[in-house]
């Protein structure tokens, strides 16, 4: 029963757009490679690597901001300076 359905004209009708679409994708790929250049074609691997690099850069920026904030917060106010002198000298002012 199923093999009879595959021999209907509809299956040929569906196959034609698939073939045309496949050929169109091939033409577009060829044109892109010719215009942009082989080395600049976007690929899934290239996109993934760009995402990894962006994540690393973002993590580096966050770490740098945290480092700067931690340096500014230690000893930046008169109160923390007084507390620091108590710790180092053992005397209260």
pTM (whole model) above 0.75: no
Q: How many angstroms separate the first and last alpha carbons of the chain?
A: 98
Helix %, strand %, coil % for the chain, to 5? Answer: 85, 0, 15
Question: Contact, 58 vs 69, CB < 8 A?
Answer: no
The structural domains of the chain, with segments of one domain joined by +, span 1-40, 42-71
CA 58 to chain centroid, in Å, comes to 11
Encode the chain (93 residues) as per-residue pLDDT tens digits.
Answer: 455 555 555 566 677 788 888 899 999 888 888 888 877 778 889 899 999 999 999 999 999 999 999 988 765 555 555 555 565 565 554
């Amino acid at each position: 029963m199923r093999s009879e359905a595959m021999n209907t004209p509809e299956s040929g009708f569906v196959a034609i757009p698939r073939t045309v679409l496949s050929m169109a994708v091939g033409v577009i790929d060829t044109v892109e490679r010719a215009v942009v250049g082989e080395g600049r074609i976007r690929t899934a691997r290239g996109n993934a690597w760009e995402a990894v690099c962006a994540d690393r850069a973002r993590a580096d920026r966050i770490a740098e901001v945290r480092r700067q904030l931690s340096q500014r917060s230690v000893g930046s106010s008169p109160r923390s300076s007084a507390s620091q002198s108590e710790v180092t000298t053992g005397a209260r002012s």
